[in-house]
Structure 1
């Protein structure tokens, strides 16, 4: 089971039972994984790909939707409250990239938390890291210029959706970047074109690449990588699943710089 940081010390029999209770589903890019206001009894754990958490603004216009967070490989989406076996989603979960997601019963995880305190502590730790990332992003949106903000989001994407050396998957669109950064798509497009003209960002068949000295050259100091991201343990395979399962990341496809 790929949630190894949480259940590494759980007896094999209970881990096997948890795996048997889970459902593995695949989602296309931009496909809705979980709609806001829907009741669910599952935790959504990313096996491969990337999900984004979307808060809907007033009205039906998609432009009012805001990406508040990303759920990357080995991370999860669940209710803020863990007191019941089911919950109502307050936000929509969307596949930012083609993704494979484990749907894990809340009841099964709650039972493990009761029997093994380290599982509960692990969940709390991951939730705190998530909140730290969200708070950092809110501070950036409120305090930084558009150039600084886009630069920091690009660096964050190299961690969330890595592609090649110092790059991120080019299927992460400028519209998604704009939604996450609180800027218009036009501002993001103009800023990224300026970065490319200055040689700070380049595109190739593997992804969008950010120069390692990008921040030092233009922003007066290297961009700090969030501790809440860099401290997350790398993925480890569990012997209960074949290692090749985790090599599911689809290869990047060539794309135009300016979106349709």
Structure 2
């Protein structure tokens, strides 16, 4: 039995020992998996569903929760360090969708990493990838228009919480989308309604459908595509949806009025 593909090269005896020392728990949607400030001696490995990492906003009249990251199937939520047997959680972990999670003792995982360096390297690569995604999410929030930010988050959700081809699970609420995109729920609601009216987004019983070319995304890539983001940071107004159409102020060949 494998808790995660990362342990594929671990010996059968050690895999069995790891399974026996771990727990598999189920969580309902919106149930807290790990509360900030609480003590834990486990690493959380998602077997199914989706978790979100939540931080309490400070310095606001009405404190709100900010979603800083998502943990999907076969990914890990690790405490501040693997060198300590127990740690105090700095963030809250919440089930964004019904989820099954393996609770792996830090001690057991550290032992595996010591015997199999490729496991440690795999965990490091996952952490680097997640940091890259978070960094680019922050850049999007500061550089792109509201519609562009929402479009990229919706596209990202088709990877994080797929429901059907080109759709994401409709149980992902607008409040979660808002907390991850850095926008208010009212702004997200208005933006999504406008997108629906323009035929860019469609909802049905299967989920929220997003066209394949709806927006570019760098999610899941260690070397994100930067072109659209760089242009948006320079111009601040270039919409993703129309980037492949000729400039209305010029002609199809890129000439502007007055050019010879």
Give the TM-score band, short-chain normalised. Answer: 0.7 to 0.9
CA distance in 2, matches of 1:224, 1:60: 31
Deviation at 1:2, TM superposition (A): 4.3
Give the match for residue 198 of structure 1. 198
Mapping of 1:37-116 within 5 angstroms?
37-58=37-58, 63-116=63-116
**Secondary structure of 1:69 counterpart:** strand
Give 5+ residue unaligned stretches, structure 1. Answer: 216-222, 232-260
CA spacing shift, 1:166–1:63, aligned 2, 3 Å: farther
Give 5+ residue unaligned stretches, structure 2. Answer: 225-260
CA distance in 1, matches of 2:141, 2:153: 10
Is 1:5–1:122's contact at 8 Å kept on the other side of the alignment? no
CA distance in 2, matches of 1:13, 1:31: 34
Q: What TM-score, normalized to structure 2?
A: 0.82
* Number of aligned positions between the proteins: 224
**Secondary structure of 1:211 counterpart:** coil
Cα deviation per residue 1:74-105 (whole Å; 9 max; x = unaligned)?
A: 11101132211111110000000011111000
* Equivalent of 2:217 in 221, 224, 227: 224
CA spacing shift, 1:227–1:47, aligned 2, 3 Å: closer
Greater RCO (Cα-Cα under 8 Å, separation 6 or more): 1
Q: What TM-score, normalized to structure 1?
A: 0.82
Is 1:56–1:66's contact at 8 Å kept on the other side of the alignment? yes
CA spacing shift, 1:82–1:139, aligned 2, 3 Å: same
Is 2:44–2:101's contact at 8 Å kept on the other side of the alignment? yes
Give the match for residue 31 of structure 2. 31
The root-mean-square deviation of aligned C-alpha atoms, in Å, is 1.9
Give the match for residue 139 of structure 2. 139
**Secondary structure of 1:172 counterpart:** coil
